[in-house]
Amino acid sequence: MTTDDRDILEVLQAELDFIEKGGYGRSVRTPWKAKSPLQDSLTCINYAYLEKAHPCSECHLIDLVPGDKRSEQIPCHFIPLNESGGDRRQARVGRQPAQT
């Protein structure tokens, strides 16, 4: 059950704004570490925690994840991004913002 008290529309608008401003580039502190859309942004309820402080089931985004994928390690990566069901795993980090 979602316990995230943030407004889902505001969360998604902030994510889009982040992407449009060039988010998900390589970190200066950890350039070897690939970035993970949604998980490595303020959208994630566990952002900035060293450990996973909240289960993904508490996040608004869990409502967008297909039921059979909600138990995955990173369920938000299975959110369908288009009508044919393509998800984050098929959209590579490093593409232009319009492509991600």
Note down pLDDT in tens along the chain; length 100 residues: 667 788 888 888 888 888 888 777 777 777 777 777 788 888 888 888 888 899 999 998 899 999 999 999 989 889 887 777 776 665 554 444 444 4
Task: Tell me if 71 is assigned to some domain.
Answer: yes
pLDDT for 82: 78
Task: Tell me if 97 is assigned to some domain.
Answer: no
Task: Tell me if 99 is assigned to some domain.
Answer: no
Query: For 92, which DSSP code?
Result: -
pLDDT for 94: 42
What is the distance, to the nearest Å, from the Cα of residue 69 to the centroid of all Cα atoms in its chain?
14
Q: Is the entire prediction scored with pTM above 0.75? A: no
Task: Tell me if 1 is assigned to some domain.
Answer: no
pLDDT for 28: 74
Domain count for the chain, please give it. 1
**What residues make up the domain containing 31?**
8-90
Task: Tell me if 76 is assigned to some domain.
Answer: yes
What is the distance, to the nearest Å, from the Cα of residue 68 to the centroid of all Cα atoms in its chain?
18
Task: Tell me if 55 is assigned to some domain.
Answer: yes
